Every structure is written in structure tokens, then in C-alpha cells.
């Protein structure tokens, strides 16, 4: 298989950009995710990707909870903030309004379109990432707007 063709094909998959926040004990963290899909209506289940061996992966497995944040088209800066490693960006939450989620304790960012607090049901190792199946246990819409998509940014992912 030609690697350039493979990248071209895989980059055609449409991706939304979400911020995932985590809490494990007193530690909070967050990352930008481009791999998310709904897998069940009853119960409401989502599947997302997380890099194997990462801080996010360890925290998710350790705490069993996470919070997904749906960004608006005007929030590319927030996506970039949580995309960078903590050592490059410092405190990713600095200057952002957030509060502990009532269902999970994970930070809930308030200046987003919506959020969904989730309990981790299953983590399946799959190559250099894991697939996380999560149950939505609480959610809220914060404001109206169009969601931020990877195609709205200059970034590329996949392949």
C-alpha cells in the first residue's frame, strides 16, 4: 500500500474536535480528541480514542471517568491549548471558567457548546491508541452554535 495514498484516504474521514477533561484524585488534565462516535442510544454510549501509554490514558483507566466538551467553530484556540503537551502549554485550564462536574468531578468547561460527563465502561487496546467505551451519565447544552471540525482548522490528522 502506498503511504501517501493511505494518508490521503484516511484524511477524508470527517472529525469533530472535542476537549476531554479528566480527574484522578487531585490531578486534573485535558486533551483534544478528534476520534469520537456514538455507538448506542440505550444506554447512551460513546467511543473515543486515547493514545496508549499517555497521561490521559492512565488517568482515564485510574479514575474511570471523563468529560467531553463540544467546541464551537470559534474555539480553535481552546482545541490547540489542549492539543499541546502540558510541558509546552503550562496549565491548560488557566484563564478558563470551569467547575467540577456533578456526576464525575471532572472539570466542566463552561464556555463550550455542550458537555457530556461519562463513566468509562471498557478500554480496548488498538494499535497506538485505545478505544474507550463510555456511558453518558450527565450532559448539558451551554450555548447554540456550529461545532468545530478538524476541517475548519489548518491541521491534518489521520494516516
Parse the chain into domains and list their residue ranges.
Answer: 3-152
Give the per-residue pLDDT at 159.
Answer: 47
The torsion angles phi and psi of 53, rounded to 5 degrees, stand at: 80, 0
Mean pLDDT across the chain, nearest whole number?
Answer: 91
Cell numbers standing for residue 129: 491508541
Rounded to two decimals, the pTM is: 0.90
Q: What sign for the dihedral angle of Cα 54, 57, 60, 63?
A: negative
User: What mean pLDDT is predicted for residues 39-44?
Assistant: 96
Of 5-9, 16-20, 23-27, 105-109, minimum mean pLDDT range: 5-9
Percent helix / strand / coil, the chain, rounded to 5:
20, 45, 35
**Number of neighbours of residue 41 by Cβ within 10 angstroms:** 7
Determine the CATH number of domain 3-152. 2.30.110.10
Amino acid at each position: 500500500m502506498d503511504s501517501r495514498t493511505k494518508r490521503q484516504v484516511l484524511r477524508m474521514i470527517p472529525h469533530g474536535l472535542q476537549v476531554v477533561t479528566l480527574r484522578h484524585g487531585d490531578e486534573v488534565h485535558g486533551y483534544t480528541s478528534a476520534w469520537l462516535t456514538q455507538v448506542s442510544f440505550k444506554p447512551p454510549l460513546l467511543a473515543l480514542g486515547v493514545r496508549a501509554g499517555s497521561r490521559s490514558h492512565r488517568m482515564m483507566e485510574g479514575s474511570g471517568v471523563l468529560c467531553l466538551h463540544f467546541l464551537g467553530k470559534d474555539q480553535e484556540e481552546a482545541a490547540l491549548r489542549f492539543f499541546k503537551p502540558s510541558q509546552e502549554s503550562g496549565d491548560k485550564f488557566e484563564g478558563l471558567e470551569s467547575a467540577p462536574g456533578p456526576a464525575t468531578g471532572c472539570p466542566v468547561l463552561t464556555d463550550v457548546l455542550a458537555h457530556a460527563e461519562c463513566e468509562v465502561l471498557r478500554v480496548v487496546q488498538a494499535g497506538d491508541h485505545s478505544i474507550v467505551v463510555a456511558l453518558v451519565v450527565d450532559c448539558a447544552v451551554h450555548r447554540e452554535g456550529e461545532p468545530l471540525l478538524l476541517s475548519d482548522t489548518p491541521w491534518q490528522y489521520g494516516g
